[in-house]
Amino acid sequence: MLQLPHQPLQVAAVPPQRSPTREDQAGPWHSEAVCRRDEAGLFFAPSKEPTAARLAREEAAKRVCARCPVMVECREHALLQPEPYGVWGGLTAAERRVVLARRRRRELELRKAAASAGGRVAAAG
């Protein structure tokens, strides 16, 4: 949903359903998601939501995620897309940004270590 620069955002819209990144024999992972039976407003913030209300809503959404059989698939979907809004797989958008930053740092460290080990092997050979 595009907003013109001069119009204030009224309500946060639920992002359109994206294609799942993985499917298993029984169908797409999201068909088993517990949140399909809950109100989408629990997982996506309204515009200008007060901090206390946001924290309470996010905790309630995370409780739903905690009992979901496809929480890991949902979380990976949100990290791979990456989903910019809402609670997915028990993580808020801010928490997903932290996870992604940690993954990038770890990948960089592993590449540096591999390059360093490769240099030592070449020098020894």
What residue numbers does the annotated binding site for [4Fe-4S] cluster cover? 35, 65, 68, 74
Query: Residues forming the annotated binding site?
Result: 35, 65, 68, 74
Give 89's DSSP letter: T
Question: How many angstroms separate the most distant Cα atoms in the chain?
Answer: 66
DSSP class of residue 27 equals E
Residue type (1 letter), 10: Q
Q: Measure CA 125 to chain center.
A: 45
Q: H-helix or E-strand containing 9?
A: none
